[in-house]
């Protein structure tokens, strides 16, 4: 059977991709040590660019592979088997079955995490583990047309990589702490550093948990960083810089609620406003951190043109009126059988857009301009 390069299969029928989840902590039982992973040149970074090299190492099988059930007792690797039936192939089969194998390894980690109620990792930390997964075997069953891939996570190497990530994070925390100490008397200028410190401390804890989940000791951290003192200092800065919320336009109350909810996810508190003043845009100068949204309706609905448009801007100024301000344009379109329905859908889309922009803008290290 001639192996395809890239996608030369006919358009497949819809079928569920079956992934065999084999969470087998093993290494080769051979005296010569574990088998080598499939060879990919070290200077080839992109997963897509790996494909020509992987195709050269595809095994032609006569039935399911024996290596799908190989066990070992040393516990160096965490394995996952990816299976891709012929009628489930979409695009490049090697790329697809490789992703299935990696997903099987991550699923095994997630099951281990579920067993330990004290460890709850985010996708970012699991992605760090995923980046170290390699392929050990790759084959196609000539009789059924199914593809098989055996992925493995080298646990000691993954633990070492987590340690490297912790060291980089500690250096960033030290830099943010120094910047916070050097902030001028206007406290709002330290909001960015305070946010970065709290998010960094949380990720530091997550990385240490990941190292334990991978079977290693908790990743060592810089003993010079006093976590409790750093967290206390950062929270004090944020407590003293409540963020004012100003929204003008349709659905203002719901949009303001959305903004306040997102502030809570990054340790910021909304300011206590008197009555309705917190829900509408005020022209006067606002001291301290401010998030404002101004929206206006546009477009004339008609049966032949059943659309309404909501447009405006999101303004983010966490460093006070004299600091840097980010302004992002907003535009949402709603379609409906009536003027009211089209407007409601446009406003709902605008609210989601505001939420998504804030999730990017309020994350330390990211920019929205």
Residue 53, helix vs strand vs coil: helix
pLDDT at position 366 is 43
Residue 203, C-beta contacts closer than 8 angstroms, at least 6 positions apart: 124, 125, 169
pLDDT at position 141 is 92
Of the candidates 148, 140, 138, the one whose C-alpha atom is nearest the C-alpha of residue 2 is: 140
Of the candidates 82, 100, 94, the one whose C-alpha atom is nearest the C-alpha of residue 9 is: 94
Residue 256, C-beta contacts closer than 8 angstroms, at least 6 positions apart: 245, 247, 278, 279
pLDDT digits over 41-53, tens only?
Answer: 655 556 667 777 7
Mean pLDDT throughout 175-182? 82
Please check the confidence at residue 10 and state whether its pLDDT lies above 60.
no
Using alpha carbons, list the distances in angstroms from residue 296 to 327, 331, 350: 16, 10, 11
Residue 209, helix vs strand vs coil: helix
3-class SS shares of the chain: helix, strand, coil, % to 5: 40, 20, 40
Q: What are the structural domains, with CATH classification, of the chain?
A: 24-154 (3.10.28.20), 159-239 (no CATH), 244-361 (3.30.160)
Q: How far apart are CA 218 and CA 212, in angstroms?
A: 5
Of the candidates 348, 350, 293, 295, the one whose C-alpha atom is nearest the C-alpha of residue 316 is: 293
pLDDT digits over 287-333, tens only?
Answer: 667 888 998 888 777 888 888 888 999 988 876 666 678 889 999 99
DSSP string, 8-52: -SPPPPP-PPP-----EEE---STT-SPPPPP--TT---HHHHHH
Q: What percent of the chain has pLDDT over 70?
A: 74
């Amino acid at each position: 059977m001639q192996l395809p390069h890239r996608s030369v299969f006919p358009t497949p029928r819809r079928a569920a991709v079956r992934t065999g989840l084999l969470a087998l902590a093993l290494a080769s039982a051979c005296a010569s040590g574990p088998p080598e992973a499939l060879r990919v040149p070290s200077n080839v970074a992109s997963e897509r660019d790996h494909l020509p090299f992987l195709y050269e190492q595809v095994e032609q099988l006569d039935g399911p592979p024996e290596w799908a059930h190989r066990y070992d007792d040393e516990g160096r690797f965490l394995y996952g088997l990816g299976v891709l039936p012929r009628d489930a192939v979409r695009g490049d089969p090697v790329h697809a079955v490789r992703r299935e194998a990696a997903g099987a390894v991550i699923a095994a980690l997630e099951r281990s995490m579920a067993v330990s109620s004290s460890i709850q990792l985010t996708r970012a930390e699991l992605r760090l583990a995923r980046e170290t997964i390699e392929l050990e075997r790759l084959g196609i069953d000539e009789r059924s047309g199914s593809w098989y891939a055996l992925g493995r996570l080298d646990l000691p190497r993954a633990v070492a990589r987590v340690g490297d990530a912790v060291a980089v994070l500690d250096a960033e925390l030290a830099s943010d702490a120094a910047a916070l100490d050097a902030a001028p008397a206007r406290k709002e200028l330290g909001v960015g550093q305070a946010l970065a410190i709290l998010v960094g401390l949380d990720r530091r804890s997550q990385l240490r948990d990941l190292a334990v989940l991978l079977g290693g000791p908790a990743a060592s951290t810089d003993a010079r960083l006093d976590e409790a003192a750093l967290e206390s200092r950062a929270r004090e800065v944020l407590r003293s810089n409540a963020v004012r919320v100003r929204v003008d336009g349709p659905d203002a109350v719901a949009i303001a609620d959305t903004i306040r909810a997102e502030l809570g996810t990054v340790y910021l508190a909304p300011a206590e406003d008197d009555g309705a003043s917190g829900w509408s845009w005020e022209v006067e100068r606002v001291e301290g951190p401010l998030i404002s949204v101004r929206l206006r309706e546009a477009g004339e609905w008609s049966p032949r043109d059943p659309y309404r448009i909501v447009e405006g801007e999101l303004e983010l100024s966490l460093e006070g009126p004299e600091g840097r301000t980010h302004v992002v344009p907003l535009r949402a379109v709603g379609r409906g059988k009536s003027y009211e329905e089209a407007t409601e859908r446009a406003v709902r889309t605008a609210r989601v857009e505001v939420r998504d922009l804030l999730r990017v803008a309020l994350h330390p290290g990211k920019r929205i301009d």
